[in-house]
Amino acid sequence: MSNELQGKVALITGAARGQGRTHAVKLASMGADIVAYDIAGSAGEFLPYPAATTEDLAETRRLVEELDRRILTVQGDVRDKAALRAAADRAVAELGSIDVVVANAGICEPAKWQDITDESWQATIDINLTGVWNTITATAQHMIDAGNGGSVIVTSSYAGKKVQPMMIHYTSSKHALVGLTRGFAIELGLHGIRVNSVHPGGVATPMGGGGMLDAIAESTKENPKVNQMGQSFMEPGWLEPEKISDVVAFLASDASGGMTSEHLSVDLGTQYF
């Protein structure tokens, strides 16, 4: 454990499991108190992997409390700005501040363009893009009012710089987050608040479970060569979520104090050929 974030409070969305959980544990290990926000339920019946649960969110709480840090767990949807504002207000009232925001919640559905329903398109944009907008706009004023600067970290994807085949809705949402990051970096920079994005490649999380691999295979069976487009420079070609959390921790800390409007790839050098 370290004390680089001692006295800080980090609000993390999508914190019940996967990258969100490891972000919470990593930042807590550095001294931060945590606000763990997650829908802890279904975000759409069209998704091929199992939903996070209230038990998952409770496990995040347990892991943070094991590190002797305070944690608020909030079950809520990032599409609900009022709920996010209530969570931010509660964080300041009970924990004293919001110093780090990790806008991490997101969904992913493999599908050919012909098979993307209006429901799945809208939910993907509403959660992956508007949900990040809601998260930042619900927390930024608290950070401004405190006058202590801070760090906002947006979870995009290598699909936000390159492309994820057969996921136009997902790729579009993640590309849009690059523009959102740059725009907020300009406006919040006046208040000493840094805004950067992280772009993971393949990560071993529950999002890759359930029927996800079958859905990818189904979406690409008419054009299987696209499965060979993305090639990492290192093996095994995917990362454990803790590796992404290491980069999030760097962006949350003073070690990255000179960085804003940056877009850090954590994808083993994955390129498209």
Residue 1 lies in a domain: no
Structurally, the chain folds into a number of domains equal to 1
Give domain status of residue 24, yes or no. Answer: yes
pLDDT of residue 208: 85
User: What's the CA gap between 12 and 33, in Å, rounded?
Assistant: 11
CATH of the domain at 16: 3.40.50.720
Any domain includes 104: yes
Q: Is residue 204 part of a domain?
A: yes
For residue range 218-270, list pLDDT tens digits in order: 888 888 877 766 778 888 888 999 999 999 999 999 999 999 999 999 999 88
Q: CA–CA separation, 265 vs 267, rounded Å? A: 6
Residue 2 belongs to some domain of the structure:
no
Name every residue whose Cβ is closer than 8 Å to that of residue 93 and which is 6 or more positions away in sequence: none
Question: How distant is the alpha carbon of residue 17 from its chain centre?
Answer: 11
Strands 271-272 and 230-231 come out as: antiparallel
Query: 3 in a domain, yes or no?
Result: no
Task: Give this prediction's pTM.
Answer: 0.95
How far apart CA 270 and CA 57 sit, in angstroms, is: 31
**Residues spanned by the domain of 170:** 9-267
Is residue 4 a part of any domain in this protein? no
Is residue 180 assigned to a domain? yes
pLDDT at 217: 78
Residue of 64, 244, 65, 76 lying closest to 153 (CA atoms):
244
pLDDT tens, residue order, the chain (273 aa): 689 999 999 999 999 999 999 999 999 999 999 999 999 999 999 999 999 999 999 999 999 999 999 999 999 999 999 999 999 999 999 999 999 999 999 999 999 999 999 999 999 999 999 999 999 999 999 999 999 999 999 999 999 998 888 899 999 999 999 999 999 999 999 999 999 999 999 899 988 888 887 888 788 888 887 776 677 888 888 899 999 999 999 999 999 999 999 999 999 988 765
Establish whether 170 is a catalytic residue. Answer: yes
> Would you state the pLDDT for residue 219?
85
Q: What is the pLDDT of residue 209?
A: 82
How far is the CA of 264 from the CAs of 148, 152, 220, in angstroms? 24, 13, 28
Given the residues 37, 49, 170, 272, select the one marked as catalytic: 170
